[in-house]
Amino acid sequence: MELDALDRKILEILLKDSRTSYREIAKDLNVAVGTIYNRIKKLEDSGVIQAFTVKLNYESIGYDLTAIIGIKAQGKKIREIERIIAKDKRVTCVYDVTGEYDIIVIAKFRNREDMNRFVKGVLSIDGVEKTNTHVVLEIVKEDFRLEP
């Protein structure tokens, strides 16, 4: 979908605070509330806006450990393995990648024991050959909200 300047401005506002009312957006952009409603509906229907959500501080709710896990898998099993891993609530990202590993997973854990159980569970999935786990020491930037 091609975005015009108004669509982009609406998205920028919603990325900063998805709770912003249509009335506030309309006032900020000097357009009618109905225009904002119609534009946001169009953005939702076309799949540009997939959800209105919050950005959590995971450490404040007990997820103190972030890990990046490379997974080497048998070619025919990769998609199935990705689907299994993606179902785990601790997993924030699953990427099908090129390079030494076939799958990259980013996950949040409460502690090392929780991470250890997860990695051992991954290793027990049929088709997983090996894993390589990197524990994040410090999150410098973690924000998937790109400006449109």
CATH of the domain at 107: 3.30.70.920
Residues 109, 70 share a domain: yes
Q: Is 48's pLDDT higher than 90?
A: yes
* 65-73, strands of its sheet edge to edge: 91-96, 103-109, 65-73, 128-135
Q: Is 148's pLDDT higher than 80?
A: no
| Per-residue pLDDT at 145 | 76
Q: What is the mean pLDDT of residues 82-107?
A: 98
Q: How many domains is the chain built from? A: 2
Q: What is the mean pLDDT of residues 21-36?
A: 97
Q: What is the mean pLDDT of residues 2-17?
A: 94
Residues 116, 62 share a domain: yes
Residues 102, 38 share a domain: no
Burial bucket for residue 105 (CB in 10 Å: 0-12, 13-18, 19+)? buried
Per-residue pLDDT band at 142 (split at 50, 70, 90)? confident
Q: Which residues pair with 95 in a beta bridge?
A: 104
Q: Which domain holds residue 121?
A: 58-135
> Would 64 be classed as within a structural domain?
yes
Cβ distance 44 to 37 under 8 Å? no
Q: Is 54's pLDDT higher than 90?
A: no
**Is 32 strand, coil or helix?**
coil
The owner of tokens 């959590």 is: 56
70-81 burial, b at 16+ Cβ within 10 Å, e below that, comes to bbebeeebbeeb
Residues 124, 69 share a domain: yes
Residues 115, 74 share a domain: yes
Residues 64, 40 share a domain: no
| Per-residue pLDDT at 56 | 86
| Per-residue pLDDT at 57 | 87
Q: pTM value?
A: 0.80
Q: Give the residue from 138, 121, 110 showing the smallest Cα distance to 69.
A: 121
- Pairing type for strands 91-96 and 103-109 reads antiparallel
| Per-residue pLDDT at 135 | 98
Q: Is 53's pLDDT higher than 90?
A: no
Q: Which residues pair with 94 in a beta bridge?
A: 105
| Per-residue pLDDT at 147 | 75
Residues 64, 27 share a domain: no
> Would 51 be classed as within a structural domain?
no
